[in-house]
Chains A and B, each alone.
Chain A
Amino acid sequence: MDVRSGLRSIDARLALTKLAGYPFALATWVGEDGYPLSVAVDVTVDTNSGTASFVVPGGLVMPSAGEMSLTGSHIRPQPGVGYDERRHVTLWGGLDRDRAGWITVRPTAAWGWDESEEPFPEYVERSVGQSRRYLGQLSSELGRTVRPRLSAGWLFLRATRLPFLSAAIVPVTIGIAIAAVGGLFDPLTALLTIIGAASAHLAFNVANDIFDTRLGADELNVNPTQYSGGSRVIQYGLVSMRGMQGLLVLFLALAVSIGLLLFALSPSTQLLVIGVLGVILGVGYTAPPLKLVYRGLGELTIAVGFGPLMLLGAYVVQSGGPIDVAAVVASLPVAILVALILYVNEVPDRPGDSRAGKRTLVVRFSRGTVIALYDVAIVAAFAIIIIGVVLRVLPLPALLAVLAAPLALRVHRGLNVSYDQPYALMAVMATNIRIHLVVGLVLLGTYLSVLLVQALAPGRSLFLP
């Protein structure tokens, strides 16, 4: 099935039932002059015989044979907004006309759209193929390539999925802050670390789009949202595959160059291992031969990459190699929460992912297991922070992260209620992303407050006694 064919054919009998629900229908035919002509008629639908009949309107010469269409159309006006409840159905069929002035249409084909059955974003997504076809024809007509456009800034934001950069910035800045608390801080390498990690993250986002397109996952996903389903810039023709490959090379080259520079400035085996492993996991997340996300290892990969690797990588740049246990412990809740971003964002993607053979955990598990695993993981993230504070590994203010727990309850409830509604899940996904950000900022703020106390009140401790 071409999921991007746009127009949705409907079974003619089902369409007849739908037509019966409209207060009137439009009978449309093509006159002898070649113009179509529509007129409102009151139809009588007989689903048993599969026909729709109406009395020939007065004063019009209607065909006595051939084919005719019947259309039902509905909206609900919404003053100040426009309208909603959009739905329409059109049926075609041969017609019979009797002496009493009745025309009977026997529909053989039908199409239509009902936004209560197919949400508008999905209808749009299913119509992308038609838009590509049209622009191809238009390019031929005009003798120049016509492409959809966005301003450079918006296009960059969309192609790189820039707003997700917090997933890299949070662990890196925490790693730098923990090192600073231990008296290890160099502003130049700290800045380079942030830029390098951001470049790597953007490279991995672009790589994900390239390989999900090549492997068919993005093409088969007709329910992308603001938070899931990739950037779609290739599918929409906003950026060519070649353009995205160029962007990947650019960001990857920048990230690797900065990584090498940092290694030169602060050489250590730990940094080398973290850097190499980071690139392998980042690219191999989607790219063959590893295709980790296709094998149910995507969540673990993201947890390792955007938790310990980012945080400890930033830490060892400052420390020159040694790793503090506080950095390891702090990286764990961050790892779990970033993996949960991916995990929840995979929920609306699962039909397309399943079709493309992308066997994420959400594809593999039942709804109940998926939600239970979310609960276990989110509790574990908060528990690690509490235990870390109790064991005096993490400073006391880190407990403020628990204030984000109500957000987790909202995600739990949202998953239960909207599991099968991709667009209703958008608010759930946004809340889930906020948990990672809030907890990350609390941990960052915790170490900044430790630094402040060190500066203003030496000897005072923010750890449990």
Chain B
Amino acid sequence: MSWLPPAVIGLIDIALVAEVSVVRSDGRPMTYPLIPMWDGERVLMTSSILFSRKLEHIKKDHRVCLSLSDPVALQGRQDRATIIGDAAVIDGDPHVDWERVLPLWAAKEPVILQLLKSRVAFPLFFERAVIEVTPRRVLYWPDGDASAEPQTSVEPATALAAPVADARTGVPA
């Protein structure tokens, strides 16, 4: 059972695209649009090796955040959320490892099944890694007004192990 607010899980489930921010080795944030998928515990995403700089950044720094903010990508939902978490890259075999997320992916982008049948035409696109994000904190704006103070949820283990002074920013006490 996830500690994530059901509304946020609903946003992940419906989102066609989320903006994923990672941290480069020079400390600068980089933001990439990716399809978010929810497996009941973690947010899953998949990236081709063609567009793998994000994977390189995550391997060097696991700290990421996902923004679910675009009402168009959220298919009309107006509420917004930002999920802060730790990411892991699964790429032991880029040819097949990602296929476990295919059903979740195809549910959001059905055309991918047709493209996969033409794998010979896009061989590198279908060499992929899975990004698994374990959520640590969530900021949620129920009415989508991000200028207002968000509702904040923190992973229970994180809250117990390292209480933070301000869960909204993560600035340690």
Contacts and interface: CB of A to CB of B under 8 A. Distances in A.
B111 A67 contact: no
Contacts of A81: 109-111
B31 A90 contact: yes
Contacts of A130: 49-53
A222 interface: no
Given A32-B170, A74-B72, A58 B147 contact: yes
A73 B150 contact: no
Contacts of A41: 146-147
Interface string B111-140: 110000001111111010000000010010
A76 B48 CA distance: 21
Q: B interface, how many residues as a size bin?
A: 35 or more
Interface string A151-162: 000100110000
A148 B171 contact: no
A158 B169 contact: no
B16 A36 contact: no
A38 B19 contact: yes
Nearest to B31: A71
Contacts of B56: 134, 137
Interface in B65-102: 65-67, 69-70, 72-73, 75, 80, 82, 84, 91-95
Instruction: Tell me the dominant secondary structure on chain A's binding face.
Output: mixed
Interface string A73-87: 111110011110010
A29 interface: yes
B67 A77 contact: no
Nearest to B85: A35
B30 interface: yes
A461 interface: no
Given A57-B146, A150-B119, A40 B80 contact: yes
Given A77-B75, A131-B124, A58 B51 contact: no
Contacts of A133: 52
Given A35-B136, A74-B70, A134-B52, 20 more contacts: A26-B31, A29-B29, A30-B27, A31-B170, A35-B23, A35-B84, A37-B21, A37-B169, A39-B82, A41-B147, A69-B31, A73-B31, A75-B70, A77-B72, A83-B16, A83-B73, A130-B53, A135-B94, A138-B91, A238-B123
A353 B137 CA distance: 52
Contacts of B139: 39, 60
**Of listed A40, A83, A236, residue having the most chain B CB within 10 A:** A40
Contacts, number: 201
B169 A31 contact: yes
Contacts of B94: 135, 138, 146, 148
Interface residues of A, number: 63
A30 B29 contact: yes
A58 B149 contact: yes
Interface string A25-54: 010111111111111111000000000000
Contacts of B120: 150, 154, 157-158
B133 to A, nearest CB: 12
B116 to A, nearest CB: 12
Given A33-B171, A75-B16, A124-B50, A61 B166 contact: yes
A40 B17 CA distance: 15
Contacts of A37: 21, 65, 82, 84, 169-170
A6 interface: yes
B154 interface: no
28 contacts: A26-B31, A26-B67, A28-B21, A28-B29, A32-B171, A33-B169, A39-B67, A40-B80, A59-B150, A60-B149, A61-B168, A71-B19, A71-B31, A73-B33, A73-B73, A76-B72, A77-B73, A81-B109, A81-B111, A83-B109, A88-B32, A90-B30, A130-B50, A131-B50, A148-B49, A150-B123, A158-B120, A236-B124
A134 B168 contact: no
A149 B51 CA distance: 17
B55 A73 contact: no
A34 B95 CA distance: 32
B23 A36 contact: yes
B169 A73 contact: no
B13 interface: no
A83 B31 CA distance: 19
B63 interface: yes
Contact of B147 (A6, A57, A131): A57
A35 B170 contact: yes
